Amino acid sequence: MRVAIVSDIHSNIAALQAVIADINTRGVDKIVCLGDIVGYGPAPNECVEIIRQKADICLMGNHDWAVLGEEDLAYFNSFARQAVMWNQEQLTGDSENFLRALPFIKVEGECTFVHSSPFEPQTWTYIINKNDAQFEFEHFQTQLCFVGHTHVAGIFLKKDQKIIFHMDDKMYLKEDEKLIINVGSVGQPRDFDSRSSYGILDLKNRLFEFHRITYDIESTQLSMEKFGLPKYLIDRLSYGR
């Protein structure tokens, strides 16, 4: 069984199409989306439609929740807030219904899937450093926990009470280790690499691999310009931070 895990698409249709095209070449049995399909970018409904068709499991993200009008917008900086409000205006009834039905956390086999963190997923906590990870490791029962939210790809590994952070692009799973894997962001990476990020878990070969995919950043930037979305968010796509 091979599972592709994507997250933080943020209405970036060019990025999502490039990632789906890459997934299609890699013999994957299942696709999981960790949320934040919408927000920031220019194509919320198109992204919801692709995920609705392609993903076997999809989780709620904080931007999805905000675009549904469920989050206090004071929580966002002014650029993100502007983009959330624009995404809100575009959202069709079908997209809204799909997003509203998404769960906040899902456990399947040896994996926990959640947008932000396994402890109280609805508080949208960021797992940034080893201390954050230490706490979160106590709050899921499976060997693996997949998260997004920070837009920074990487793996927290726990072995014998010790926590190590890895950015290696592949890792073999060992029985005595527990992992929190952040798959990074499809539509707005913030880890100094502007290419889309996603991961593939190969359960048979006990292997997890990150993939970075080049996409047409300029086409997304041009659409964002056309719709008057904040320049800061447009420029950020090419910096990857």
Binding site for Zn ion (CB under 5 A): 8, 36
Of residues 3 and 59, the one with the C-beta less far from Zn ion = 59
Identify the sign of the CA torsion 4, 156, 37, 218.
negative
Q: How many CA atoms does the CB half-sphere of 71 hold within 13 Å?
A: 23
Of residues 8 and 136, the one with the C-beta less far from Zn ion = 8
Alpha helix ranges (H) inside 126-191: 130-137
* Residue 17: CB minimum distance to Zn ion, A: 19
Of residues 8 and 191, the one with the C-beta less far from Zn ion = 8
Distance of alpha carbon 212 from alpha carbon 167, whole angstroms: 13
* Residue 188: CB minimum distance to Zn ion, A: 7
* Residue 60: CB minimum distance to Zn ion, A: 12
Rg (CA), the chain: 17
The single-letter DSSP state of residue 151 is -
Of residues 117 and 173, the one with the C-beta less far from Zn ion = 117
Of residues 31 and 147, the one with the C-beta less far from Zn ion = 147
* Residue 36: CB minimum distance to Zn ion, A: 4
- Cβ proximity of 106 and 142 under 8 Å: no
Best CA proximity match to 12, nearest among 152, 187, 184: 187
* Residue 215: CB minimum distance to Zn ion, A: 17
For the chain, report the end-to-end CA distance as a whole number of angstroms.
33
Distance of alpha carbon 197 from alpha carbon 186, whole angstroms: 5
